Amino acid sequence: MRGGDSGQQGSVLVLAAALSLLLIGFVGLAVDGGEIQAQQRQSQNAADGAALAAATAVINADNYAYTTTDATNIAIAVAGFAGIDAADVTVTYKDGAGSVTSVPTSVATVTAAVAHNFQTLFLPVMGIDSASISATATVSITQASTGCGVCSLSATASPAVSANNGGQITVSGGALNVLSSGSPAILVSGGSGISATAVTSVGSVTGTTTPAATTGPLQVFVDPLSALPVPPLGAVGNDVVYAATQTINPGTYGKITVVSGITVTMNPGQYIITGGMDIGGTLRGNSVFMYFSCADGTRHAIQCATPTDPGDISIGGSLTVSAPPSGSDYTGLVWFGDRNNTATITIGGSAAPTGTVYAPSMNLYIPIGSHQSLTARVIVGTIDVDHGGRLNVTYTASGNYVAPGKLRMIA
């Protein structure tokens, strides 16, 4: 009997041991399984944060002289806040074609990957000593607008950009991009010339540009400042004629006229102008932003509801103005023409705006013999340089308005 009891006891012990292992396995699944889920969430949060941090660094590369290496270091630091070691983080930068790039301005997507192992607590009794965790996040980047030094935004004008009878258009530091599908969209005739770092046009070209223009429907582009917000409007603007030298303050004006021989200095700030300008004397100012709007029947400044010419801008004297510096809503933007303002800007005297000139429906006209050198980015509807006129535009990203980049989490 004792021998039978002993056998039964042994069977019970074996069964108890097996049940203990099974129980430990269940506990291991519960505890380590929960830890795996927690580690997965932690890793995904780290990947999300790292990708967003790197992408943010990339779109601010110009402001802070960041490289992609700097962006990766920032991403690693962010992942570290989530308890992820630097060795477990990989950041990849790709351009619009899907190729790996290290040039911040070429980056279209940023992918952060987190991969690491951790030791399990109970599952080793079942032969599972560790668990592998991985997570990725990808952020799509719409880069800040730079691109063209001179943009012509009219979709149908023919020509949209013209240099006639010895007229010259020269763009340094940027491209000349023409949106018009006209035939021709660009006209170069009578010993004239157009040159830029690159020339593109949706429509055809008559004449020769340097370099030769790339044409066709693939050259369509979007207004680089289409998201630029309009400043607050609504105040009354009255016409003013300045016949004595003086200093003026920001505010809303109707038509501004500066008589020949008179100097008017603009204090820093925003100027809303509803009736155009006639500058026979000198108009100057630093840290100045000008918005050319329409007006209602009671002279209140409003946006132009339809294509309207509320008053042309004639510069027969001298205009010397610079854009607001950093810290302004319109940093680097000196001139904003309402998107339906179709007025003509005629520069027969001397114009020296420093900063971006954005007048997407206006015509820029350089008349006979007028020679203009602008340190600016010029975005207008159409351009006409006539009879020996000269338009020289020197463009650099610094000092001009740059529309902020955009980020979107896509995976």
Token couple for 68: 């992609």
At 179, give phi and psi (nearest 5°). -85, -20
Q: Dihedral (C-alpha) 290, 361, 181, 351: value to the nearest 10 degrees?
A: -50
Q: Is pLDDT of 64 > 80?
A: no
- For 95, other C-beta atoms within 10 Å of its C-beta total 14
Cα separation, 246 vs 381, in Å, equals 33
Confidence at 263, pLDDT banded by 50, 70, 90: very high
Residue 218 pLDDT: 83
Average pLDDT over residues 36-52: 87
- For 119, other C-beta atoms within 10 Å of its C-beta total 11
Among residues 32, 258, 245, which one has the least CA distance to residue 128?
32
Confidence at 43, pLDDT banded by 50, 70, 90: confident
Cα separation, 65 vs 212, in Å, equals 33
Overall pTM > 0.75: no
Q: Dihedral (C-alpha) 336, 339, 342, 347: value to the nearest 10 degrees?
A: 20
DSSP-assigned beta bridge partners for residue 378: 150, 357
Cα separation, 251 vs 37, in Å, equals 60
Q: Which tens digit of pLDDT belongs to each residue from 66-95?
A: 899 999 999 999 999 988 999 999 999 998
At 391, give phi and psi (nearest 5°). -125, 105
Among residues 245, 249, 250, 300, which one has the least CA distance to residue 275?
300
Give the residue with greater pLDDT, 106 vs 99: 99
Among residues 116, 56, 112, 52, which one has the least CA distance to residue 84?
116
- For 261, other C-beta atoms within 10 Å of its C-beta total 11
Q: What distance lies between CA 229 and its chain's CA centroid?
A: 13
Token couple for 149: 């030094």
Most confident of 28-42, 53-67, 140-154, 277-291: 277-291
Between vectors from CA 354 to CA 351 and to CA 355, what angle results, nearest 5°?
125
Residue 1 pLDDT: 45
Q: Is the dihedral of CA 261, 262, 266, 271 positive or negative?
A: negative
Give the residue with greater pLDDT, 82 vs 261: 261
Give the residue with greater pLDDT, 42 vs 300: 300
- Residue 14 corresponds to which amino acid? V
Q: Is pLDDT of 31 > 70?
A: no
Please state, in angstroms and as integers, the Cα–Cα distance from residue 233 to each residue in 186, 239, 262, following that order: 36, 17, 29
